[in-house]
Amino acid sequence: SSGINAEWPLRPGKDDTPQALQTESKLPSKKRYAILMGFCGDKYKGMMINPGVRTIEEELLKAFHRSSLIKSCNATDIKKLSFQRASRTDKGVSAARQIVSCNLHVDDIERSVELLNSQLPSDIIVYDIIRTTKSYDCHKYATSRVYQYLCPTYVFAKTYAETYIGYRLPQDVLEQVRTTLTFFVGTKNFFNYTSGKKMNDPSCSRYLRSIECSDPFVMGNTEWVRITLHGDSFMYHMIRKIIGMTIATTRDVTPAQYLQKSFESERCDVPLAPGLGLILEEVKQQRYNNKFASDNTRKPLVWDAYEETVRQFKADQIEKVIYEEEQKRRVVLQWVETLKMHTFYTGDVLPESLFTKPEVKSTVEGVPCSTVPMGNG
């Protein structure tokens, strides 16, 4: 269904009045725009409209309507706006630089941006509204996508005894993580890294341009790394499964050859890392820029002018939430314990030490991890 949650009011008591309809009749003509935006996905059930639950697009449509950028008759049906998002994000996933395209009634762009941000929650921001060609589709013109995954380094510890908040990643283990990640670069069949796909499905062939792991950095008492993935496109759960397999391989929960096996014809068990640390870093629109903006006839869809605003929003509204949620709910720490439930081996026996969960002292609470409140994660 393209209809949004029927429970949200457009403008209570005003939308169907003659005065409101008369005002809407005076709106400027509808034109095609790219909306450059960002958001923290922690409190939302994904990007796309889903009746009955809170989503990013529902909040955006509310703000469009309250800012008089769309008419009441179009406010509950995104098809009437020819609405498209450059990249879909799932429950809990954030975006630093996302693009949507749709038809809007815009009189003054700068004022419209200000109005939108005044109507949006603080965890959603619009950086700019840019006039595009009539047929512009941000998904179709997306050349490639960059994602980041913020990961606490204790997930790479070799034993449960080392898996605690104050863990610091040794250099040799960091290099092992980086080496493992390079295995995913290039064109490969990722049918084991998504859901509901068969090995011979051509859509499972994806090209990853690069994957890099940063040096560790400390936030609070926890050490983290940023894993940056640049690919033409990604399938459902693909990035989280790449992270999950990298963690499992580094922890020696599965033998190294299992990584190679996961790209062969047999169905393999690949763990799905939590969505909390996943950020859509950027959707690149090079194809559109080359075709329409190279001769200055159209404004290019690039992020240079907003970099400081993006950096501040990402630090305050996205990364801060990720750090605080892991500190509070232990989402990733709790997930690590589920690795022992995976059937990586075929006939072999997992080392007994991986099944034994010792009472580990947390450097934050000073109590065994087994007794630390985990939340709903």
* Cα-based torsion angle of the residue sequence 130, 136, 139, 143 in order, rounded to the nearest 10 degrees: -80
The tokens of 206 are what? Answer: 């994806």
Rounded alpha-carbon distances, angstroms, from residue 327 to 61, 122, 132, 152, 335 = 33, 22, 43, 10, 14
Q: Inform me whether the pLDDT recorded for 55 exceeds 70.
A: yes
Q: What is the pLDDT of residue 294?
A: 86
Give the strand pairing for 94-104 and 278-284: parallel
CB atoms inside a 10 Å sphere around CB 209:
12
Q: What is the pLDDT of residue 342?
A: 87
Q: What is the pLDDT of residue 256?
A: 65
- Report the helix count and the strand count for the chain, using DSSP H and E: 11, 10
Q: Inform me whether the pLDDT recorded for 261 exceeds 60.
A: yes
Mean of pLDDT values over 140-165: 94
Q: Inform me whether the pLDDT recorded for 21 exceeds 80.
A: no
Q: What is the pLDDT of residue 290?
A: 94
**Spatial separation of the C-alpha atoms in residues 26 and 69, rounded to whole Å:** 12
Mean of pLDDT values over 196-200: 89
Residues 6+ apart with CB under 8 A from 25: none
**pLDDT, tens digit (0-9, with 9 covering 90-100), for 71-123:** 888 877 788 899 999 998 988 899 999 999 999 999 999 999 999 999 999 99
Query: Percentage of the chain surpassing pLDDT 90?
Result: 69
**pLDDT, tens digit (0-9, with 9 covering 90-100), for 297-349:** 899 999 999 999 999 999 999 999 999 999 999 999 999 999 988 887 543 44
**Spatial separation of the C-alpha atoms in residues 25 and 224, rounded to whole Å:** 53
Active site residues: 90
Sign of CA dihedral 122, 125, 127, 128: negative
DSSP of 37-77, one letter per residue?
EEE--TTSS-SS--TTS--HHHHHHHHHHHTTSS-GGGTTB
Mean pLDDT across the chain: 86
**Spatial separation of the C-alpha atoms in residues 99 and 2, rounded to whole Å:** 19
pTM (whole model) above 0.75: yes
Q: Inform me whether the pLDDT recorded for 9 exceeds 60.
A: no
Q: What is the pLDDT of residue 375?
A: 33
